[in-house]
Structure 1
């Protein structure tokens, strides 16, 4: 990611952007509670930083940062920002992200559209998982207990050290955290080694006898690269590659990573967009997480956070559902 200067703005100290905005917007500054509407804003990708931003009223763009402690605005603009006007509402602490489409703050229904079918509410269409918080660091963590890779043959489970993905509430270390400000997933070395072995094993088993997918030299910053001779799917139109599953404790389903949520096409072949934590790989969050899920993994997903119930509904890559996410008209 380019080294872009940013300017910190403190409308409310130590409050992450999405918590700051998880209030109810109003149609006017003094409208009664019955007139309050959810705050719905389009997401725009900044061309210089590849970060998603939103614009509130007349303020400059604010970076959408799930793991941030501050509200940020991009330079070189020196414009100041006023506090986002919010009223004490009915603060259901809910927000939704449909990447790359929109962000919705407040208690609003979100729908998934399917070909030849009517709109379905996300609570009926998506699985959900508990979300965890780190007392030592901001952000939202997933209760991941294991990682597996599947490519038609029985899935291969990564041989992780015991408790490798656990979040230590005392020290704030470990855990799997979501980030919208780092381009690719990052794994601690012990986790990455186990994952790489599982991915290679799934490739070696193969899905079709006529394929000959094999490892090729790494393409920086990626370490796992393959010759790209993967079969092609017609629906959705993409390459047939292994599916990575994050196995979640207490969830209704595992979190899948399909093609576009981890594969990167390069001139030398297809590379896995998951990096090993090492010098030179910047960390987007404080502390030492076991794994960071980056923007590549969250893109083309619908995510709905309920911070009262501490639950997260997740769609998985929407193109594999041959669907998209929509909001109701107000």
Structure 2
């Protein structure tokens, strides 16, 4: 469901948009015309601040019904007033955007907004594409805790008013999107590709990897309590040795909406429930016992002397961490994903323990896989098949 642009024939090619990373907040942004938007994998819709004059959607429309399937968390504080049920004399459709970083909610008109990106053949941008999508307007106060200069949030969930769903509907492309998140440390921009492949790596010779991503995908689980993407993870291993966690400790309880392993672009680092974190830290500590320690640097608990570590193209030479997935697959996290360099002398174990509740852990998952651990991968989300390809 999207607002289509009738000025030119819609292309059948995928589109590509630039991804950036804000150094101050470690949040990722996507540029789809106008000011950038924060990428939220679990977000149900697009929202941004709007100009005073904007084209609203009638409250009797089918789009409004879809927009109101979603309600912000019941306990969420509202920015600038605007609670659900606030009167609107013009009967313009209202939606309730949510800031996943501050935990605040808002209320705003649903409006048709212009978006723009470039068509791509998987190697290069080809030509500009303009189209419209439905987004919720939001009060400026809802931008608190987001990077300076952004206009709002781009929800990337499987729901109908997310950015990937609206691109697929408006441009008549596949309901797929791929993320190559920009790496920490000034490694350049990343990219989001909406509408399927091909995807070509800039290697020698160039390598087409779309089929490899689709060949053995990981099923994505649904949590009825939120729009996040969940993975079935059956265990964790360090240096190919199983981490001692209780059976089914990582399972998603669909009835209660708790547990499970989810992906989040608003959590800078992977966070784990205390019982899982302690077991993983103990196993990694044992596997790296010969590496000299350094003083801890917040928010990390265990740090190492950088001079004592060798490096490869995959990062520091330490024991790999494997997330054991269903179907005989592992998601391997090498040293570049398990250790983060915090200064010239120090690197730290790049995993955090969940402390109570936080916006990234609002539904009490067992593990939230954060952005840092996703950065050295190409992730292909197939919304039609409900699968994730990892490379």
Q: Cα distance 1:106–1:159, how it changes in 2: closer, same or farther (>3 A)?
A: same
What is the aligned length?
274
Residue-by-residue CA offset, 1:179-218 (whole Å, 9 max, x unaligned)? 11111110000101111121122223xxxxxxx3144443
Residue-by-residue CA offset, 1:157-182 (whole Å, 9 max, x unaligned)? 11011211001110000011101111
Residue-by-residue CA offset, 1:270-303 (whole Å, 9 max, x unaligned)? 2111000114x73324310000011111113211
CA–CA separation in structure 2 for the residues paired with 1:49 and 1:73: 19
Q: Which has the higher contact order (CA 8 A, sep 6+)?
A: 1
Please state whether the residue corresponding to 1:64 is helix, strand or coil. strand
2:211 aligned to 110, 113, 123, which one? 123
8 Å Cα contact 1:68/1:285 also seen in 2: no
TM normalised by structure 1 equals 0.73
The equivalent of 1:313 in structure 2 is 389
The equivalent of 1:67 in structure 2 is 42
1:221 aligned to 287, 299, 305, which one? 299
Q: Cα distance 1:238–1:46, how it changes in 2: closer, same or farther (>3 A)?
A: closer
CA–CA separation in structure 1 for the residues paired with 2:23 and 2:350: 20
Structure 1 unaligned runs (5+)?
1-19, 205-211, 316-330
Q: Cα distance 1:78–1:96, how it changes in 2: closer, same or farther (>3 A)?
A: farther
8 Å Cα contact 1:187/1:277 also seen in 2: yes
Please state whether the residue corresponding to 1:103 is helix, strand or coil. strand
The equivalent of 1:106 in structure 2 is 195
Please state whether the residue corresponding to 1:43 is helix, strand or coil. strand
The equivalent of 1:194 in structure 2 is 279
Structure 2 unaligned runs (5+)?
55-110, 114-131, 134-165, 183-189
Q: Cα distance 1:79–1:192, how it changes in 2: closer, same or farther (>3 A)?
A: farther
TM normalised by structure 2 equals 0.62
The equivalent of 1:258 in structure 2 is 334
The equivalent of 2:179 in structure 1 is 97
The equivalent of 1:143 in structure 2 is 232
RMSD of equivalent CA atoms: 3.0
1:240 aligned to 303, 317, 321, which one? 317
